[in-house]
Amino acid sequence: MIQFNEVSKRYPNGHEALRNISFTLDSGEMSFLTGHSGAGKSTLLKLICVMEKPTSGQVIIDNRNVGRVGRRKIPYIRRNIGMIFQDHRLLFDRTVFDNVALPLIIAGYPHREIGRRVRAALDKVGLLSKEKLHPIMLSGGEQQRVGIARAVVNKPPLLLADEPTGNLDPELSAEIMSLFEQFNQVGVSVLIASHDLSLIARLPHRVISLKEGRLLEDNNEVTGGA
């Protein structure tokens, strides 16, 4: 699903965010990406969803070298990646329903299909009763779950999450993680960037550790998921 071949990323200001990273995430695999802030976790995720392009090396997503993909093709790659952000990135002038429906509207799904899928996704994250509310009326944990519903609503084969439990208490964090495990169980590849080591330690998944842009540790033996 994801393959990094000797990937380095240097930003225009000279900061070297990633140095010579190589790893593979198989289809249907669930993995954590850890490291201190500034270790390069976010950059790695940005390379996968083509928000940045590698300075050298190859980032291959679904057998496609995304570093070489033209500007016009990028949206179609992103439609197959569900992204979850620490700051949720919701549209606050729209209802929960409209936020979750966004990827489907963009992809041009039929109207009835949109209603059906949005409600299924909201049901999955336990927010079906709040579809008509605006995100501002929800708690932090609920907003994060709206973000998750939006990420999975078009059933992407790959989920990326950047610090999805960053602002949540341990109980809510565990709930969110179990949601990701449920998606993984039905075949979705999941990559979660997190520095919540105590939470990660409790879960039996692969952990990729970064330090100052280098791959520090990759306990590939413990594979989670299906």
Partner 1 sequence: MSQSELGGPKGAQFSSGSTFISRFKMGIRHHGQECSKGLHEIFRAPISSFMTIAVLAIALALPAGFHVFLKNAQMVSSGWDNATQISLFLKMEISAEEVEKVQNELKNSVKIADVSLIPKDQGLKEFSELSGFGEALSFLDSNPLPDTLVITPTVAHSSPEASEALLIELQEIPEVELAQLDLQWVRKLYSMMAIAQKAVSALGVILGLSVLLIVGNTIRLAIQNKREEIQIIKLVGATDAFIRRPFLYSGLWFGIFAGILAWILVNSSVLWLKDPVRNLAGLYESQFRLSGLAFVEALQLIVIASFLGLLGSWISVGRHLKDIEPT
What residue ranges bind partner 1 (CB under 8 A)?
A: 1, 26-29, 49, 51, 61-62, 72, 75-80, 83, 89-91, 93, 102-103, 105-111, 120-121, 124, 150, 152, 155-158, 186-189, 226
Nearer of residues 152 and 176 to partner 1, judged by Cβ? 152
Nearer of residues 72 and 198 to partner 1, judged by Cβ? 72
Please provide the DSSP assignment of 170-214 as one string: HHHHHHHHHHHHHHHHTT-EEEEE---HHHHHTS-SEEEEEETTE
Instruction: Report in angstroms the alpha-carbon separations of 102 from 155, 158, 171.
Output: 13, 18, 29
Residue labelled with tokens 């907003």: 143
CB of 110 to partner 1, least distance (A): 5
Nearer of residues 64 and 202 to partner 1, judged by Cβ? 64
**Among 182, 219, 226, 221, residue whose Cα is nearest residue 32:** 219
**Among 187, 152, 180, residue whose Cα is nearest residue 164:** 180
Nearer of residues 181 and 199 to partner 1, judged by Cβ? 181
Nearer of residues 14 and 110 to partner 1, judged by Cβ? 110
Instruction: Report in angstroms the alpha-carbon separations of 125 from 9, 57, 129, 130, 205.
Output: 35, 37, 11, 11, 22
CB of 213 to partner 1, least distance (A): 19
Residue labelled with tokens 């509310």: 133
CB of 112 to partner 1, least distance (A): 11
Pairing label, strands 158-162, 81-84: parallel
**Among 49, 55, 45, residue whose Cα is nearest residue 10:** 55
Nearer of residues 2 and 7 to partner 1, judged by Cβ? 2
CB of 3 to partner 1, least distance (A): 13
CB of 118 to partner 1, least distance (A): 12
CB of 56 to partner 1, least distance (A): 21
Nearer of residues 160 and 215 to partner 1, judged by Cβ? 160
**Cα(71)–Cα(92) distance, rounded to whole angstroms?**
28
CB of 127 to partner 1, least distance (A): 14
Q: How many CB atoms sit inside 10 A of residue 91's CB?
A: 12
